[in-house]
Structure 1
Amino acid sequence: MSTTVLDTPTGAVTVLVTRRVKAGHETAFEQASGDMTAAARAFPGYLGGQLVRPDTEGGSEDPSLYHVVFAFDTAHHLQGWQQSPARSLGLASIAQHIEGQTLRPVSGLGHWFAAPVGPQQNPPPRWKVAVVTRLGICPTVYVLFLLLGALLAPWPLLPRVMLLTALVVLIMTWAVAPQLTQLLKPWLYPAMRSKT
């Protein structure tokens, strides 16, 4: 299991959790995960969540990997959920259906810009991370507005924002950011020059 925490400028916190589900346990896992999400809804500051099933159509993703995206309005409210008995019971129910218990918290956008393996690489400066993030988010939001703007226009503002931000996080994390960081890798991670 891996967990990624994304802080947003508004103070809201989005959490991405990846779990490897045991073969034959998919239905039971989805039920337990749904029960855990239902329990989280009762907690102060909960903004929403979604279970993302593996993309088995394209064959590019491991069919046992499930992703959960959820958000709280503040880190304090997220902590309240994380320290609750309800979450502990939910995790205990899920544990029998997943493999491994590795926890990998990453704050901010760091998981999008994990440095390539090797001693000759420097991490990118923050301004480069900001430039690449904007290059990815701006067209992603624009396309989502073109595709969904008219459909979502009658919705109240908060549900619209919740849906669009969840879609942006998903698209950036699994599609746009990996492509951009690969394309711009020479600029993001210039090789260290050896001193002569």
Structure 2
Amino acid sequence: MSSTTDGKHAGAVTVLITRRVKAGHEAAFEQAMADMTAAASSFAGYLGGQLVRPEDEGSGDEANLYHVVFAFDSPEHQQGWQQSPTRSLGLAAIAPHIDGQTQRQVSGLGHWFAAPVGPKQAPPPRWKVAVVTWLGICPTVYALFLTVAPFLVDWPLLPRVMLITALVVLIMTWVVAPKLTQWLKPFLYPARMAP
């Protein structure tokens, strides 16, 4: 799979999918994923994807755990792919090759700093989103390095990074970002002056 990044897509949505592949099914799974990625690339808003193979992560419990990342330029385009018959066919082709449940995480700054309910407001400028994002991520990462990271010292680097970043996304999405958005609403969405 290829990976692309474009700074113009401030509302981009990233989907991280984790699947455990049955022993002996690796080649078939990788081919099915390549077909699915080729299909996704024809959808509006597709930015790219990446397949992380087990050999890229190490061995042991991670020996047959694959991670797939898809990115779309907006939640609407991601939903278009998510709800498409094309994706359903791809999932049907992958199903015989995986064990257990698929884990899925969705992230994106658009989910963190949604506009407040009420009259239509313009989204905040990117620099404000960047400032508020940093105000949330910096203490969150610091707290995780103090509390979680010491227990992961024996893990290979990539799984450590993946767990810490997954925790950052979860904490930001459901705890920190909603509070920051509420507390800093006047900064993100200043009241308009009456004409």
TM-score after normalising by structure 1: 0.52
CA RMSD of aligned residues (A): 4.0
Does the 8 Å contact 2:15/2:70 carry over to 1? no
Contact 2:136–2:176 under 8 Å retained in 1 = yes
Aligned partner of 1:129: which letter? V
**Runs (5+) with no aligned partner, structure 1:** 1-6, 18-35, 49-69, 92-105
Structure 1: distance between partners of 2:90 and 2:166:
24
Partner deviation per Cα, 1:80-133 (whole Å, 9 max, x = no partner):
x97553425689xxxxxxxxxxxxxx9841121111122374321111100000
Q: What SS does structure 2 have at the residue aligned with 1:154?
A: coil
The one-letter amino acid of 1:139's match is P
1:72 alignment partner in structure 2:
68
Compute the displacement of 1:15 (Å). 1.8
How has the CA–CA distance of structure 1 residues 71 and 168 changed in structure 2, closer, same or farther, with 3 Å as cutoff?
farther
CA contact (8 A) 2:52 2:67 kept: yes
Secondary structure, aligned partner of 1:15: strand
Listed one character per residue, the Cα deviations across residues 139-171 of structure 1 (whole Å, up to 9, x for unaligned) are: 000000101222111111000011011100000
1:37-65: per-residue Cα shift (whole Å, max 9, x none)? Answer: 446985464459xxxxxxxxxxxxxxxxx
Q: Distance in 2 between matches of 1:151 and 1:86?
A: 37
What's 2:160 paired with?
Answer: 160
Counterpart AA for 1:131: V
Alignment counterpart, residue 87 of structure 1, candidates 87, 91, 95: 91
Partner of 2:171, secondary structure, is helix
> In 2 relative to 1, CA 192–89 (structure 1 residues): closer, same or farther, beyond 3 Å?
farther
Q: Following the alignment from structure 1 to structure 2, what is the Cα–Cα distance between the partners of residues 107 and 171?
A: 11
Q: For the residues of structure 1 that align with 2:146 and 2:140, how far apart are their CA atoms? A: 10
Distance 1:74 1:89, change over 3 A: closer
Structure 2 gap ranges (5+)? 8-12, 35-49, 54-65, 73-77, 96-105
CA separation of 1:189/1:16 partners in 2, compared to 1, >3 Å: closer, same or farther?
farther
Q: How does 1:56-135 map to 2 (within 5 A)?
A: 72-73=68-69, 75=71, 85-88=89-92, 108-119=108-119, 121-135=121-135
Aligned partners of 1:168 and 1:107: how far apart in 2? 10
Aligned partners of 1:47, 1:167: CA distance in 2, in Å? 19
Name the CA distance, whole Å, in 2 between partners of 1:37 and 1:73.
Answer: 11
The percent of aligned pairs where both chains have the same amino acid is: 60
